[in-house]
A and B are shown apart, each in its own frame.
Chain A
Amino acid sequence: MASRAEPISAVQRAGAAIAALVLLAVLGPLAAVLWRAESVTGLGPADFSAIRFTIWQAFLSAVFSIVLAIPVARALARRSFPGRAALIALMGAPFILPVIVAVLGLITIFGRRGVLNEGLAALGIPGLEIYGLHGVVLAHVFFNLPLAVRLFLQGWLAIPAERFRLAATLGFTPRDIARHMERPMLWQVAPGAFLVIFLICTTSFAVALILGGGPRATTVELAIYQAFRYEFDLGRAAMLGLVQVGICVVAGLLVLRVAVPAAMGTGLDRPLERFDRQTTLQRAGDWLAITLAALFLLMPLLAVLLRGVGGVLTLPGSVWAAAERSVLLSLATATLAVALALPMALLIARGRARGLLETIGALSIAVSPLVIGTGLFLILRPYVNPSSSALPVTGLVNALAALPFLLRALVPAIEAAEAGYGPLADSLGLTGGQRLRHVLLPRIRRPLGFGAGLAAAMSMGDLGVITLFAAPQDGTLPLEMFRLMGAYRTDDAEAAALVLLVLSLLLFWIFDRGGRANAAT
């Protein structure tokens, strides 16, 4: 969109100031890490093995997610059945699902004494091991398979309907359709999807914290945490932080090189209109793929629901106190994220210095939250007791982490509103706050509500920075749950997981719902 000739308004000044603040909030801690890391000499063998493990598990996770997603997406694209829309909506849920809840669910199903291994043992087959590489990859596939399915499904639905009609008139068999239409689409979507998942998996901390560990299954992020928490070797933590930034920057640059499709798109609930005759075997394969995917995604969550529900009433007070802290923190995070994102999005939609602003908005993807947390710790330590600032720091870092998602949702909506009603607003002399209130806000309520809900849910379930800072008595709910798991208080942990799950979904639902109500579309 072309930039308008208009005197710089208060909104734009606010946007620029906030962009500068965001830049400072990311680069400041990074500089602190850099400065602290200088005094350290090199990396040890344990560090190199952490780097290798980080890349290897991310690679495997991305490969499995992509390969398994293809049959599922294909089946969803060409079958219609009751519950299809719900299943596709569920595929969007991992964004708002607390990692620790899902991991507990996975342990319940796939763990040593889980449903699957009990079954295997009854058949005399040796069981699976969920701790270590297997478990880390399993959990990452659980979170990223749905993302990959949505990306591929979008690719399938982006094949013009006319092309399927053309294929029908030319007498294409399913094999011809695969060759001429589906495979070219897959080659287009897969590299971007692979790299995004790879990037997500290199920075995933909570999964490695719970399922990894030990010399053979430690990621760089986990090594930062251990250096911090157990050895209190800040220099080494900073050095590892730099390594992590390096990995993310390389992966991030690769992501930018290939076109990355957006996964947030709607309209996925329409099945493809196909005319080719499919064999019974293909039909059966489709149903198998859909059933297995649904079971894989639903069983861990059902396990949490069923096993948690009995223990909720007898949960210790500390869990409820943590829940209260978490809800307040996540509300504050969502507010802060919106306060940062809205002025920036308005400025980006104006078209001024767009590339720079978008890069600033996306920085928190390249610099992992744990690294920012480490840097903030280094900066704050001389002035305040870090554990007393645990919650504000967590809120800030989570708001920064949610910023790219919010910008992605808001900018197109603002642009559409400006394209549709900007000239009218101009002619009526609506500028600044009035324009925002009367023209823009009513038209961006939906993405705003969605984005705020996403920020709230992400913050509610976050088990990252808080682990570095929090003192035993004032953790968030995910941290409290992690402690319960560590203390083998499984019943309490399962009940806490249920509370955490319900609160996360509820927070998302309330914000998202609020955005939809009375939204001008």
Chain B
Amino acid sequence: MLRLDDVVLGFEGFTLSADLSVPKGARLAILGPSGGGKTTLLSTIAGFLRPDTGRVILDGQDVTDWPVQDRPLSILFQEGNLFPHLTAFDNVALGVDPSLKLTEVQRADVARALDQVGLGDMGARKPGDLSGGQRSRVALARMLLRRKPLALLDEPFAALDPGLRREMLSLVGDLCDAEGLMLVMVSHDLRDAERLCTDLCLLEEGRIILNGALQPMLADPPELLAPWL
């Protein structure tokens, strides 16, 4: 599970304060207006930003002072998830070994991950020769392969058209189920959250104004959620 204990962080004239707990197996959507602190919160969990006070606890371990690369998590960014000069296969293989020296077994793993996202025959292509949806799938394949228990998604499908976005969200849901991943996703669309997530956290001006299980909220929407319905 993931816990933020009284995290406070000042960043470029903006203050984020968060106290938050995500149970194991849960999928949390962070919703809120632009500039509300969604990405700052995600960056704090990932380790790109260090809180001024408070702790970040992951699977019972205090990871507040851990560097990014040591934290048991994977991230999908809004864009720039792939290196344009590497093939889809190599982009996924980076998740196994950044030096790209792979054993036969590892190569088979990469091929299987590409299969899982439906790109089994596209491994040799470079990102420039793939569609937007396919690029997202490559990034997703790498995330799967890394087998980190926590997946962070920073609106990775925002640039896709609604149909494709829905498709990707259900794919992510299926894959998280299959691999037992915990997920935190930044979004500005309640419908997307509904499709994938179990929990919701509403963030405004750097503060959590609503937090809890998603389904009950949708059944009886509180006042604060009204603008998002």
Contact = CB atoms under 8 A, between A and B. Distances in A.
Interface of A: 160, 162-163, 165-173, 175-176, 179-181, 184, 273, 275-277
A498 B46 CA distance: 54
13 contacts: A160-B80, A162-B77, A162-B78, A163-B83, A165-B75, A166-B75, A166-B80, A168-B67, A168-B69, A169-B46, A170-B69, A179-B99, A180-B94
A166 B83 CA distance: 10
Contacts of B80: 160, 162-163, 166
Closest 4 CB pairs of A and B: A176-B98, A162-B80, A171-B69, A168-B68
B81 interface: yes
Interface in B153-179: none
A180 B94 CA distance: 10
Contacts of A163: 80, 83
Contacts of A162: 77-81
B69 A275 contact: yes
Classify the interface of chain B: helix, strand, loop or mixed: loop
Given A162-B77, A171-B69, A180 B98 contact: yes
Contacts of A172: 69, 98
A295 to B, nearest CB: 34
B69 A180 contact: no
B86 interface: yes
Contact of B68 (A175, A179, A180, A275): A275
Contacts of A179: 99
Output the residue of A165, A169, A171, A173 with the most chain B CB within 10 A.
A169
B83 A168 contact: no
A175 B98 CA distance: 9
A168 B66 CA distance: 12
Nearest to A173: B98
Output the residue of B70, B75, B86 with the most chain A CB within 10 A.
B75
A168 B81 contact: no
B95 interface: yes
B11 to A, nearest CB: 12
B68 A181 contact: no
B74 A169 contact: yes
A180 B73 CA distance: 21
Nearest to B146: A170
B48 interface: yes
Given A160-B80, A163-B80, A275-B67, A170 B48 contact: no
Contacts of B70: 171
A275 B67 CA distance: 8
Given A163-B80, A180-B83, A181-B83, A169 B75 contact: yes
B128 to A, nearest CB: 13
A275 B77 contact: no
A169 B153 CA distance: 13
Contacts of B94: 170, 180
Contacts of B68: 165, 168-169, 275
B75 to A, nearest CB: 5
